């Protein structure tokens, strides 16, 4: 790839906006998921009796639905990122391509 083209893309304000938005959004979602996972694991490690509380008259404990909710929320955050990546981030990428298309 041409070094001049790379520098032109890096200096494009739309590229800088894309990198900034994408990084910020990914970090926020990643931190959310990591906090949930670590809170769950730390609760099990340091106070397992909380997760052992029975729900209703059955044998299921509160830990199962909380663990299931964490997994579902992880899938949802992935879907949210993919939707935004295929929408806003893809639009910015196409605009950047249009800006430098004639310089290829």
Q: Domain coordinates of the chain in residue numbers?
A: 30-99
Query: Going along 1-104, which residue ranges are E strands?
Result: none
- pLDDT at position 7, please? 87
* 68-77 per-position pLDDT tens digit: 999 999 999 9
DSSP conformational letter for 8? H
- The C-alpha atoms of residue 100 and residue 80 are separated, in whole angstroms, by 29
- The C-alpha atoms of residue 11 and residue 19 are separated, in whole angstroms, by 12
* 25-79 per-position pLDDT tens digit: 999 999 999 999 999 999 999 999 999 899 888 889 999 999 999 999 999 999 9
- pLDDT at position 1, please? 60
Residue 15 Cα to chain centre, angstroms: 20
- The C-alpha atoms of residue 2 and residue 65 are separated, in whole angstroms, by 53
């Amino acid at each position: 790839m041409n070094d001049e083209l790379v520098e032109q893309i890096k200096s494009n304000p739309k590229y800088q906006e894309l990198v900034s938005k994408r990084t910020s959004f990914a970090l926020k979602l990643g931190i959310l998921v990591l906090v949930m996972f670590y809170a769950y694991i730390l609760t099990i490690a340091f106070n397992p009796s909380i997760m052992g509380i029975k729900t209703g008259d059955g044998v299921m404990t509160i830990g199962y639905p909380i663990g299931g909710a964490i997994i579902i929320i992880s899938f949802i955050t992935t879907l949210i990122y993919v939707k935004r990546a295929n929408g806003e981030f893809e639009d910015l990428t196409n605009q950047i391509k249009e800006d430098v298309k004639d310089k290829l």
